[in-house]
Amino acid sequence: MVDFSHITDSRAQMVDITEKGDVTREATAKGRIYLRKETLLAIQEGAVIKGNVLATARIAATLAVKDTPRIIPMCHQIPIGAIEVEFSEDVSWIEATVRVKTVGKTGVEMEALTGVSVALLTIWDMVKSAEKDSGGQYPVTRIEGICVMEKKKGAGNRQ
């Protein structure tokens, strides 16, 4: 049987972490958005009407990390020590990677996942007019592979 720390007596609740000690924690998440080649070129050339796509997505990811406890009901408010947002590109996709660091009582993987998700959604929002086909659909555009790549706790120990 699987034990869920957020469910007691069939009720969802925030886990009590008050007795846990503060520890250095870090999580890295990534995900990809697939776009038309023409859209990727417009992003690279800075020709997107709404502005600098990746700079806006970086800001959106940062704000999302900081807002995670407001978005995800059972997440604790924790002090965020650092946020790194990076993008890499291929001929058909942009990959967002978000690394979050803290010293606290609980991990930051939800914050990293939220940052990646919002970065990719922001990219989609900024280029959606270029991605639509004649019927208003998105035949190429998709977000995939959002996952935690690494989680660290303490002096470089993975948890």
Contact residues for 157 (Cβ-Cβ < 8 A; gap 6+): none
Handedness of CA 71, 22, 159, 120 (dihedral sign): positive
Tokens 């790549």, residue located: 149
C-alpha–C-alpha distance, residues 13 and 23, integer Å: 23
For the question of residue 9 being annotated catalytic, the response is no
Whether the CA torsion 22, 74, 125, 63 is positive or negative: it is negative
| Spatial contact of 108 and 91, defined as CB atoms under 8 Å apart | no
Query: Which of 9, 67, 125, 133 is the catalytic position?
Result: 125
Half-sphere exposure of 7 (CA within 13 A, CB side): 4
Annotated active-site positions, please? 125
